[in-house]
Amino acid sequence: MVFPNENNPSENPNSSKPSDADNKPEVKPTPDESNFPTVAKYAKRRRQKKIALAVLSVGSAGIAIFVILSFLGDTSGKFTIRMNEQMAMSGIKMTEKIDGPESSYLLAEGLKAANLDTAEDVLTYVDALPVEGLGGSNNKPKGGSSESGIETALVYTFYLHNTLEEEANFMMSLNLDGYSAPTNDAVQPYSYIRVALYETEAMAGLYSNFDVYALRNSRGWHTPKSEDDRRECLSTYSLIGNEATATYDYDGSHGYCNDFVTNNIMFERTSKMAGFSVNRYTVVIWAEGNDYDCKGQPPEGTSLTFTLNMNSI
């Protein structure tokens, strides 16, 4: 995992002089209001380390997706996404490909090794994926080539089919279920994670929604819109005083990220499906290299566990 070198500003135009804080955050299973987030002291060396991302699942209410980010680790094999019996009985069916077989679970490949990336590169890669046959894991390889064996973003697509004539409505939420803070003096990794969700009506292309989420900045910065608007910039930015202006704007309307709802809920959103329709969902998770907090030592011994839940409403 490559971290920007604070002594070489050309590698990270948004970097600034590091803090001298030496307090290491307390390790807790899940972050709460008292420790979310803190920034440990920054190191001066640049090193490359690995991130392991895995997609797992458990059944609670509706469909659940687990995404485990385990820094400095390796992951092998495949991991599952499952839909419990309650959701299946409601008329919603799940497939990995639009015309694939119905299943109560899906298999997704995790990232065996990863580097930081940027929103521009990640989202350009996702937009270029061919729609025909899209489904399952399409993790982004570093430099556009799989030969390196390194991937920089988790990209996973699946489909929900409403098999009934009635409209289906449900709530979707991504939750942080488990967290282990770094065992070294590193920046808390959840402070620079980005989560994006694409939602598309797959049959007739009637609509397509995109949203991206990040931790609300705690540095006192604000957007040009208002001093009370402290959304995090999606990627690169310019800073005048405490006013941060996004200099990368995805599709003309996403220069800033939606705030995480709480410390443990990345997003909550309602979705609806017309009768006999199909929705395509693509989940994207990466570590944003242009985030102000993305600097210093690579985190050791840390992990984050998310679940994506869908519940009928």
Q: What per-residue confidence (pLDDT) applies to 197?
A: 94
How does pLDDT run across 58-68, given as a tens digit for each residue? 233 333 333 44
What pairing do the DSSP bridges indicate for beta strands 151-162 and 258-259? Answer: unpaired
Q: pTM for the complete prediction?
A: 0.77
The band of 291, judged by pLDDT with boundaries at 50, 70 and 90, is very high
**Domain ranges across the chain:** 51-312
Least confident of 55-69, 112-126, 203-217, 251-265: 55-69
Encoding tokens for residue 174?
């991504």
Residues 260, 119: Cα–Cα separation, whole Å: 17
The band of 7, judged by pLDDT with boundaries at 50, 70 and 90, is very low
Q: What per-residue confidence (pLDDT) applies to 169?
A: 84
Report residue 168: phi and psi, to 5°: -110, 130
Q: What per-residue confidence (pLDDT) applies to 89?
A: 67
Q: Report which residue type is found at 255.
A: G
The band of 300, judged by pLDDT with boundaries at 50, 70 and 90, is confident
Compare 207 and 39 and report the one with higher pLDDT: 207
Compare 92 and 311 and report the one with higher pLDDT: 92
Residue in 46, 69, 79 with CA at minimum distance from that of residue 193 = 69
Compare 181 and 45 and report the one with higher pLDDT: 181
Q: What per-residue confidence (pLDDT) applies to 309?
A: 77
Answer yes or no: is pLDDT of 243 > 50.
yes
Q: What per-residue confidence (pLDDT) applies to 113?
A: 64
Compare 118 and 173 and report the one with higher pLDDT: 118
Residues 224, 1: Cα–Cα separation, whole Å: 32
DSSP-derived 3-state class of residue 76: coil
Q: Are residues 181 and 27 in contact, defined by beta-carbon separation less than 8 angstroms?
A: yes
The neighbouring-strand residues paired with 153 are 140
Determine what percent of the chain is predicted with pLDDT higher than 90. Answer: 34
Q: Distance between terminal CA atoms of the chain?
A: 41
Residue in 199, 229, 200 with CA at minimum distance from that of residue 217 = 229
Residues 193, 136: Cα–Cα separation, whole Å: 22
